[in-house]
Amino acid sequence: MNFVEELRWRGMVHTMMPGTEELLEKEMVTAYVGIDPTADSLHIGHLVSVMILKHFQRCGHKPLALVGGATGMIGDPSGKSQERNLLNEETLRHNQECIKKQLSKFLDFESDAPNRAELVNNYDWMKDFTFLDFARTVGKHITVNYMMAKDSVQKRLNGEARDGLSFTEFTYQLLQGYDFLHLYETKNCKLQMGGSDQWGNITTGAELIRRTNGGEVFALTCPLITKADGTKFGKTESGNVWLDPRYTSPYKFYQFWLNVSDEDAERYIKIFTSLTKEEIDALIAEQREAPHLRTLQKRLAKEVTIMVHSEEDYNAAVEASNILFGNATSEALKKLDEDTLLSVFEGVPQFEVAKTDIEAGIKAVDLFAEKTNIFPSKGEMRKMVQGGGVSLNKEKLTAFDQMITTADLLDEKYLLVQRGKKNYYLIIAK
């Protein structure tokens, strides 16, 4: 497979240094992408560069994932209007281990293949570098004029924030440039890849290598992903969509992809899956013929959920979705863990009742029309039960005065009541 061609049809090439393609055709190339370790999980904003590394390895080249332990302590000014918080070493090491575990779902770190992936941390070669050494080894090769001309610097100096730029952040491009130099000298790394906002930092590294030892290296950036409406990709109202199930449940993760627009689904399925061009073209054609079936969104959500989580998590997410929108059974409902249950029914009206009431046994009509106001009156509830319009935990209620006990509780504290087809209520026994 030709790496650049693969990225091109996927819409993943923004800018590329001349000669990059020729180099990749000639030899097995080592390339790196920097990942910021400010949290102990990646989020879907990181997925683009991770997918680039995945394609790179599939095409027979050697990927390096660089965790920016040192640079993460400073914060990259690119695209930011304020300085970052600084992290301590213990937090960085913890974050690095968690990130490696996530990356190993995408990249082969373990085999004996010559192009097996490696994880490196720039803190390891920066921590003993004195300021004097840095000033002599790196600082003297790059002029202030060259650094000032970079977009990331200009935007901060002339930007709306007008906070200016600290010296710490100003030196960021030299630190990142030195990473490239170090990896070039120690790992024969000739290519750096990243988002288009990294172009300035990457070219500083290439310039540093050229001026230090005359070496020639290359750069490739991908477009920053946005939604069709121009808003930022990967953010929801509740914040980032994380790869770690502790922060974003597999159900919510699946829902995120399932709910993207048709236009976005066409772009995202190329970027975030390893499906072939033929498969994707066929899916796009199918979607255009029958958009209401949402073929693209379903396949995109399936591929990414299985890749990041597992097939089991994907199946559970589909089952959970059916509970809300399909004809799922009470069995499926009982299988949900508490987090997923609460994710599925987030936003539905909730009522709290005393658990002692349920323990003593309570008639459905008293619980639904008195203790909670799911029904405005007992008469209305009786009519609706007779018409088969009331369900408890996805099972039709046959008698309006049916006794409800702790045996009915889901996860020992929830009851799911359905009034009509679309109205759900969650009763929480406390």
Which positions ≥6 away from 278 have C-beta within 8 Å? Answer: none
Per-residue pLDDT at 161 exceeds 70 = no
Q: Concatenated DSSP letters for 114-161?
A: TT--EEEETHHHHTT--HHHHHHHTGGGS-HHHHHTSHHHHHHHHSSS
pLDDT of residue 181: 96
Q: What is the pLDDT of residue 86?
A: 66
Paired tokens of 142: 């790059």
CA separation for the pair 351, 418 (Å, rounded)? 13
Supply the pLDDT for residue 345. Answer: 85
Global pTM reads 0.82
Mean pLDDT of the chain: 89
How far is it, in rounded angstroms, from Cα 221 to Cα 140? 27
Q: Which of 424, 411, 249, 419 is nearest to 348 (CA)?
A: 424
pLDDT digits (tens, 9 = 90+) for 363-389: 998 889 888 889 989 999 999 999 898
Enumerate the active-site residues. 38, 43, 46, 80, 84, 176, 197, 232, 235-236
Q: Which residues contact 158 (CB under 8 A, 6 or more apart)?
A: none
SS3 for 423? strand
Q: Where are the alpha helices (DSSP H) in 290-413?
A: 295-308, 311-325, 330-335, 338-344, 355-360, 364-366, 378-386
Q: Which of 96, 362, 381 is nearest to 415 (CA)?
A: 362
Residue 326 — pLDDT band, cuts 50, 70, 90? Answer: low
The pLDDT-based confidence of 41 (bands split at 50, 70, 90) is very high
418: its two tokens = 């359905």
Determine the Cα–Cα distance for residues 251 and 299; give it in Å rounded to an integer: 15
For the residues 83-105, what does the mean pLDDT come to?
83
Residue 84 has pLDDT above 60, yes or no: no
Residue-wise pLDDT tens digits, 212-240: 999 999 999 999 888 888 777 877 767 78
Confidence of residue 276 (pLDDT cuts 50, 70, 90): very high
